[in-house]
Chains A and B, each alone.
Chain A
Amino acid sequence: MLKLNNIIKSYPVGGGKLEVLKGIDLHIKEGEMVSIMGSSGSGKSTLLNIIGILDDFDSGEYYLDGQLIDHISEKNAAHLRNSFIGFIFQSFNLIPFKNAMENVALPLYYKGIGRKKRNEMALEYLEKVGLREWAEHMPSELSGGQKQRIAIARALITNPKVILADEPTGALDSATSYEVMNLLKEVNNEGMTVVIVTHEHDISEMTERLINLHDGKIIREPILV
């Protein structure tokens, strides 16, 4: 599903440049649940952004579902993100002036689906994350766990191939963290590829495969059972 060959990415810093990813080779198969771990500054978020086509890279090859992603236009990137990838963020990133249902329905707006159909589908997905009765609530009226579940519903609504989660439990207490992880596991059981960036061991232990990132390189890849 995701194939990265020798991906190098650097950021300009002052006069020179800081190499964040120093040649990443990674292959994630369809239906896998993978966690990417690493200390702060190891480049794990950058890697996730590149996988999500939110950021570009300097050299290397990246195939998303067999499609080469290389200097594609913003417009194409937007279409790919919309149809292939669902994002989950640490700070939820719900739109504050839209209620839960409207937030979940938003990706469908960019797919060109009508309001009525969108909202119906959004309610379906809210049901799925157990927040059907919170549909009319604004994000400010919800707890962190609820917000993240809404964000997950939003990521799922386009039925993407890959779910990318950047520290999805970073802002949650452990009980809600496990709830969110269980939800992601369920999603994975339905056949979706899930990639989670985290620095919490108990979270990464809930995934099938652990990728350890250190100073822009993958240092070991133990298989978890």
Chain B
Amino acid sequence: MFDSDKWNERFETLSKNKLRTFLTGFAVFWGIFMLVILLGAGNGLKNGITNQFQDDAINTIWIWGGRTNLAYKGLKPGRRIQLENADYTFVDDLEGTDHSSARFSVRNATASFGNLGGAYQIDAVYPDNSYIENCKQVSGRYINDNDVKEFRKVTSIGMGVVNELYKDVDPIGTYIKLNGIPFKVVGVYSEVNNREQMRCYIPISTGQRVFNYNNLLENVQMTTGDLTVPETVALAESIRENLAKNHHFDINDRRAVYIQNNSENYQEVLDIITGIKLFILIIGAGTIVAGMVGVSNIMTIVVKERTKEIGVRKALGATPLSIIAMVMQESVFVTAIAGYFGLISGIALLEVVSNIPALQHDFFSNPQVDINIAIGTTLLLVFAGALAGFFPSRRAAKIKPVVALRDD
């Protein structure tokens, strides 16, 4: 199958016609290079956005109290709707609820340990908040049910707080002062989003008692388990209906409570990403086709330019098949090599880009190309090279030696 002498001959022909070889190869090189860059950029966008969503559980619904905008049953607009423990209980009891939590936050609270102190956020929450916020436990434990039940003054603090307040001291078991009140540190967590590592989580019950919130809540969160996107939309609507009834506001008053359905948002983003990837794929396919047409064009010109040479070869005993093989092998060889270089250069550039921190962005990270796609593209190229070479080579094989040899 592999005849080294034959390939020697091809290689010589190509190396002695450098400009022609370069021009043919460059079209393919550029096509593949751009394709890899495009695919990589698409993946970078996807990775970036997916990272953004990894911050919190994806299938969450968040509920905030707002201000009424419409008059309802004699009540004036502009009334504040304040969520309460009863609202959390209602959400917690819903059939579609997987995990649920409620919270209120004390922003710009002071936290201090020993001589060090700073402004952080205190969040009073239920244990499931860890799941909803996607907190990673670094050491110790998170707030648990007993902490809530027994109003314990315990806290799970973020890595950001630990880094700033605890120098070479294990925070577990120490007492940290939150707005002057000592809490026992039972755990340390980390988060993807650095801002959310600057928090101290305490049990909701303790928080309401210590900071005089009574039964008030700032927001309620829940995850929806395996529910489909339309099901979560229906669920969110039923929650709104119930809140409207309990808090006496118009169901059509969208500002009375804010309900954010992340599943729905995530689905929208996924749809956009799918669209972008499809778009990139179409452009990529177009680029390859353009490259192929380019190669085919150049090979056609090459055949025309080499008419005489082909005639001489035929007079010396070249069969039509050997002429077809000659043109096609040259075409495949050039496309495969140039395509391979395009692939390598594209991947190298992506590698460089993903290692420059300045080019990392919230919505763009780690642009990479699937190795299977890379291999598939290379194979496609060899095929494309064969196809691009086929028609010109067939034309070359049909040239009569006497026509090719005519002096003009």
Contact = CB atoms under 8 A, between A and B. Distances in A.
B partners with A: yes
Interface residues of B, number: 27
Interface in B14-49: 16-17
Given A93-B405, A114-B5, A115-B8, A52 B317 contact: no
A95 interface: yes
Contacts of A55: 400, 402
A88 to B, nearest CB: 10
Contacts of B317: 78-79, 81-83, 107, 110-111, 158
Given A89-B405, A114-B5, A74 B309 contact: no
A209 interface: no
Contacts of B17: 97
B316 A154 contact: yes
Interface string A185-221: 0000000000000000000000000000000000000
A54 B316 contact: no
A74 B320 contact: yes
A74 B398 CA distance: 9
Nearest to B16: A97
Contacts, number: 70
A106 B16 contact: no
B325 to A, nearest CB: 12
Interface string A35-77: 0000000000000010010110000000000000000001100
A90 B319 contact: no
Nearest to A155: B316
Contact of B321 (A75, A94, A115): A75
A91 to B, nearest CB: 5
Given A95-B309, A97-B16, A97-B17, A74 B315 contact: no
B351 to A, nearest CB: 38
Contact of A78 (B311, B314, B400): B314
A111 to B, nearest CB: 7
26 contacts: A49-B402, A54-B314, A74-B319, A75-B320, A78-B322, A79-B319, A81-B315, A81-B317, A89-B405, A93-B311, A93-B312, A93-B315, A95-B313, A96-B309, A97-B13, A98-B16, A102-B12, A106-B313, A107-B317, A109-B5, A109-B9, A110-B313, A110-B318, A110-B322, A111-B317, A115-B5
